Structure 1
């Protein structure tokens, strides 16, 4: 029996290699996995041309996944540095990498990325279009936009961010509802500009069936972008954001009719007390499709520390139903992140994702924590380091300030509660003084 996409296979009861891989990674039966995929509640982004992919599932009942953004730009066009970032993201176990390249030899970089990465790869084709054609945004034709999409798909990209929900109706809402930060989505702002200058409908909304045909042919997942995501707390959960979300729900159903997998992108900046409600709203309006969020950042006043503001929001969002977190680095809003910024952002996002998995009671999530707790109780430093999310940092901290006694740390020394309780339980004496 043949199939076109992973969703089509699930609906036909075909156990693809990718479905088998995800089933084994997640400890979910293939039957349960395929049932949720058939409904669109789980996706497995897996372009037929991405030969090195180690498939991951995103959605209901699965571990929360994280994505890392990178790519070359006009101001930072060092391809080899971006490749170093790729290797770092893979070493730190990011499940996805988004190539946001918008300058120079973007296809060459993208092909190298797809070739070496077992992580799923995403792109935003409209970023590439301006540099690809070396034209002003106004002068790019509809056919040219779609040729870039086709190029990315043929190169092996697993998911595409397309801001198809920003139609003329939503654009009018933006004009009528004043925001402090207007549109902060780069792709959304480019499409809005194109629409206004050409007095035309969003080409990806107007010609959505053409987009679905491309995705179906190569088994590419649509990540329906949130052009109206809030760029500050003031703008969250407003009419523009909600209107676009309603449209994305309608586009989701149309994609599923073609067996095209879909995830929905979400906020943005948002106060903590709005996050759970937004997660519920997305799941209702978009029929249970997986939710991919940037943050949310829970305050606007911490530039240089937005990996923390994002991790707080991401943990709440994922615990409330979000399935996929886009990392945020300390350099957010300020510059292109370097390797150290990336590491801080990845670890912060992984902490948020794992904390949420514990709250969601994902099978096996707490086993990792229990193993660490047993190592701590035994004062087994090497096991603690091996279990750590980032083994290098705790190892370096301990090496920088070694205690008098190996079975303690330099904070408590002989007064270490764990050390003393272990000794008492073993019938040994405790001497706090020389």
Structure 2
């Protein structure tokens, strides 16, 4: 079965494209051209039976993601489903399951229940579950094998996950740069931290980089959007646009091209902590290096001195990011950096991000129309 990217490249308009075009201020032909160029992706796993496909990229409206899931000491699936419903009520466009606590069986059960409970596209970082499985099987996350990781990816793909985040750009080159970099904050990426430890322990290349074609083969089979996450995103505004962040962006640009050539839709996950003056340069650089791939930003948070109010500081960053060309915002809750989010925190985070996306869209989309 051909992928959405392949269909668009061949000029074939599918029912999924027609649905997304009907939800946006765009013709189905223009949508298909944007997909073919790699500037638009559609989140839509065919195995998610009640899904409503979502388009991400310019000139579509900016979308908002809400992340939920368990932690080691916070495992309450009922409450996480309540957070899902709260995110839906506040207007989230997608959901990510970032569960890292509990057993592998519990992770499977929660993910499958989450997919049944929502029509929103669901995303994951499969590495999180692979680490749980390695700990159960071998007693240590560091004993995770490449084959086990890819088995987890395949399992989640079959369950109906529409977009998956991977730190493929963490390789020996970027890791060496990081180890020599004098950063204010160390790695803040959960997945990036474990992959760094795994590489140092085994003295091997990141399996997601070394076996990138194997990953692309799985994603293409299920038409899943690849979300290339930045392992070395800055953990403080001080570290924004340092050597390792910009070097990793160059590697991401290389991986984007390989994914497109393979027929896999791809978006790029960005920072993170970014001061206001760096938002526009960061997005311009990413868009240039990745030939205008959709950009999925975490906030960004524009200051490090407002814990407890990060839904507000990230809304400021999110509005400016969308105005500068970002396409997809991952919400930040008031609990970021200080606590595990509640149902109320989730609603507040989505509400702030939705407003930021709308404010940014007023500038981004109007500017684009005037430029035509």
Instruction: Give TM class, smaller chain.
Output: over 0.9
**What's the offset of the Cα at 1:24?**
0.3
Q: 1:179: Cα distance to partner? A: 0.6
- Residue 411 of structure 1 aligns with which residue? none
Normalised by the length of structure 2, the TM-score is 0.95
Higher relative contact order (CA 8 A, sep 6+): 2
Match of 1:86 among 79, 84, 87: 84
- Structure 1: distance between partners of 2:316 and 2:47: 36
Q: Does 1:169 align with 2:169?
A: no
Within 5 A, what are the aligned runs for 1:353-364? 353-361=357-365
Normalising by structure 1, what TM-score?
0.82
Per the alignment, residue 179 of structure 1 pairs with: 183
SS in 1 for 2:305: coil
Residue 162 of structure 2 corresponds to 158
Q: Is the 8 A contact 1:224 1:264 kept in 2?
A: yes
Matches of 2:218 and 2:80, distance apart in 1: 28
Aligned to 2:99: 101
Pick the aligned partner of 1:255 from 246, 256, 259.
259
Q: Give the equivalent residue in structure 1 for 2:50.
A: 52
Return 5+ residue gaps in structure 1 as ranges. 366-434
Displacement, 1:102?
1.6
**1:174-323 to 2 correspondences below 5 Å:** 174-323=178-327
Is the contact between residue 161 and residue 225 of structure 1 (CA under 8 Å) also seen in structure 2?
Answer: yes
Secondary structure of the residue that 2:43 maps to in structure 1? coil
Q: Which runs of 5+ in 2 are unaligned?
A: none
CA shift at 1:56, angstroms?
Answer: 1.0
SS in 2 for 1:161: strand
Counterpart of 1:131?
132
Q: What is residue 112 of structure 1 aligned with on the other side? A: 113
Q: Which secondary structure does the structure 1 equivalent of 2:47 belong to?
A: coil
* CA contact 1:5–1:260 (8 Å) conserved in 2: yes
CA distance in 2 between counterparts of 1:15 and 1:114 reads 27
> 2: distance between equivalents of 1:343 and 1:89?
6
Aligned counterpart for 1:22 among listed residues 10, 20, 23:
20
Task: Measure the CA separation in 2 of the matches of 1:143 and 1:4.
Answer: 26
Per-residue CA distance 1:372-410 (angstroms, 9 max, x = gap): xxxxxxxxxxxxxxxxxxxxxxxxxxxxxxxxxxxxxxx
RMSD: 1.3
Counting matched residue pairs gives 362
Equivalent residue runs for 1:57-76 within 5 Å: 57-76=55-74
Distance (whole Å) between structure 2 residues aligned to residue 174 and residue 213 of structure 1 = 30
1:102, 1:300 → 2: CA distance? 25
Equivalent in the alignment of 1:345: 349
Distance across 1 between alignment mates of 2:119 and 2:62: 18
Deviates more, 1:262-271 or 1:11-20: 11-20
CA distance in 2, matches of 1:332, 1:73: 14
How far did 1:136 drift? Answer: 1.3
Deviates more, 1:127-136 or 1:105-114: 127-136
- Which structure has the greater CA radius of gyration? 1
What CA distance in whole angstroms lies between the structure 1 residues aligned with 2:275 and 2:100? 32
Partners of 1:337 and 1:261 in 2: how far apart? 31
8 A Cα contact 1:48 1:156, kept in partner? yes
**Displacement of 1:137:** 2.1
The 2-side partners of 1:127 and 1:193 are apart by: 14
Deviation at 1:291, TM superposition (A): 0.3
Q: CA-to-partner distance for each residue in 1:110-145, whole Å, 9 max, x for gaps?
A: 011112211111001111112123241221111011
Residue 14 of structure 1 deviates from its aligned partner by 2.0
- State the distance in 2 between where 1:236 and 1:301 align: 15
Preserved CA contact (<8 Å) 1:170 1:244: yes
The answer as to whether partners of 2:333 and 2:349 remain within 8 angstroms in 1 is yes
Give the superposition deviation at 1:362: 5.4
